[in-house]
Chains A and B, each alone.
Chain A
Amino acid sequence: MSWFTRTASSSLGKKYIMALTGLLLGGFLVVHAAGNTTIFFGRSVFLFYASHLHALGIAVAVAEVLLLALFLTHAITGLLLFVENRRARTSRYAVCSSAGGRTWGSATMPYTGMIILAFLFLHLVNFRFIDHGVTIADIVAAVLARPLYTVLYGAGLGALTLHVSHGFWSLFQSAGISHPKYDRFIRISAWLVCGLIITVFAAILLLLLVNSNQLS
């Protein structure tokens, strides 16, 4: 085995992969959220953003492939960790309580991850693999005007919140970035970034549910 595969397949290597792909996926989320803020400004701004994005042509395709690779790597490595970690304790405790370390976010990472994965399929089915005869604005407006989708998207968003609440801090820890000098900064910025993304997405959901004319 080369040093690289040996590193990547070690327990710490898998953590680095999770941290790195997590960071990049987080970056995608930020860009995605930023792009989606155009919805707040109405149909024309949103379509302007969409058309410019698609005008990038091959770059979009490349980005999509990269993004898919990121997701797959993150999800597969995560599943691998999940399975390995289950196997590391063959007999379970009869009583299982927390001494105060874990949080809701940290304890549910694999599960929120799986929910997010499921949500992604829905999301892609809704907006990616569809008939592009109508504008994206109409599709978005149509889907998110239905309360069922608001609930489903809300659930996905909830899972994402929990996932990122642990994931963002965790990736710094996994990368070995921890020091009394900037620990607080990392923790606070983790919450801020997480909060910002969630707020944007949540606001879009609510806006489109309440105001069906936002994108028309």
Chain B
Amino acid sequence: MMKLDAKIPDGPLAGKWDRCRFESRLVSPANKRKFQVLVVGTGLAGASAAATLAELGYQVKAFCIQDSPRRAHSIAAQGGINAAKNYQNDGDSVFRLFYDTIKGGDFRAREANVYRLAQVSNNIIDQCVAQGVPFAREYGGTLANRSFGGAQVSRTFYARGQTGQQLLLGAYSAMMRQVAAGRVTLYPRREMMDLVLIDGKAKGIVCRNLVSGHIERYSGHAVVLATGGYGNVYFLSTNAMASNVTAAWRAYKRGAGFANPAFVQIHPTCIPVHGDYQSKLTLMSESLRNDGRVWVPGKTGDTRKPQDIPEAERDYYLERKYPSFGNLVPRDVASRNAKEVCDQGRGVGDTGLAVYLDFRDAIQRDGIEVILKKYGNLFQMYERITAQDPGSQPMMIYPAVHYAMGGLWVDYNLMGTIPGLFVLGEANFSDHGANRLGASALMQGLADGYFILPYTIGHYLAEAGAAALSTDDAAFAGVEEEAGRRIAALLKNRGTGKKGLETVDALHRRLGLLLWDHCGMARNREGLEKALALIPELRQEFWDRVAVPGSGQELNQSLERAGRVADFMEFAEIMVQDALAREESCGCHLRDESQTAEHEALRDDANFSHVAVWEYAGEGRPAVLHREPLAFENVTPSQRSYK
């Protein structure tokens, strides 16, 4: 039976992290090299953790799914990274960043974690600048900031539209320095197949070498998962093609609690879907909403070109419904409203699944030069993909799955319910509650990797001791055999000439559509129950009919995808269960049954002010729900209102 102890230090909020660090046991410098840590995933969280642990003297093995750690999907983050530096002297503080983040998360995150995140945010900026991250600068040479995602202070640091890339390259270079120093060993093109537990502790992993197909065993004194989010369960998302839930899901099936899997952020400004062949969605920075006005035709079925629709017949629905925030309402509100107008038949474009984001008025007001200076690269990106110029006709946008707030449950020390299993970045659930604010994902990934894990893992390692490691344990053999069986099962239709086979992508697409329809931006009991009935059927179909050519002993990209989709097919079920169990609307999560008279999200603090944690109960048995209550001692949960 799972026990959830968040291990939040006592004492006042501002002193908790200090206290935690003081009370943590230390590993002496001479002993650090005796510990082997396995870091799976090399995005912001994984690379920063691997680098920092190695700098401290630990031996690190780092695993990444791509050919190089520099390609992790952190690289695609455009907007920026928040920090409470208050360089702009505009009233920011650690407490304000903490408050904005916890409020943005709709009061579904732990106070202590979020406060610590705000505290270390400043160190991140210092660290990244020292690494040579070319942040934007003012003429005088000081760092530039912008206001992002509707924040009332300018606290976002940025490197053009490539902040994620630059921060990742910073962490990557720090890690490469440690590779050269011999303290990090790099294992690219490896996919974690499973977690190995010895005496109930995380002691190793089993990987597939994606080039040779060999199943490999690695043992360590602790395992760190920094394997990103599960947004690709929807098939179409802004995530990279290889982003998956497998590592987290395998950990879950070995006993790690999975927290709030229903919390998925749907980003409002993405380029709309344009064909069945589409493989992914592209995000446009939400900074576009600073100057673009969102609208749809006032009446349904209006097929006129946007420029032919007179002002009086346009519905600037965000400005109409939310006069004080207008186009800058939070992501979830913007996304839901876009879906609503499209559901009413007022969507635009070939598919009717898009709304306009119009720069006409901004261009008239400021001139095209000013607008291009701000958004030129985004306009280019849009034009490259759609062949349309946003300077002369409105952009079309539609919401897309973007970020998973849910993830493996971790305590204050970032350790999961399995001792020795640490989870960082998007892969954990810790800091964003039910909704993530813009420019906070990069902050969290780097906070976890640079400044939190390196302290907390020491405490665990000091207590657990540096016992000799071996991959000969029976546990490794068992896990490896299971992984082999799973691969064999995925390949079983190969060469059988069986009729009616479907490709991995086709089956994945069906799963995605099912979730988008029933567990997307707005959910209700009926739809969720329907999804719960359909998912096992689809899963069965997957195992019966999936077509995977080639063998397991070579580079086989179909097989890789099949393994990931197989796990998504299982994961989807707890995601829907979680959505069903949470009978409130909060953050990104809107339950139709829980709305105000004005059709706005209605949170239910009396019954749902908790983290929902799911425990694996065995094959074929329903997952068990545990609740970690959330206590708010320093802030008072308020209903969000953007009217």
* In-complex A–B contact (CB below 8 Å): no
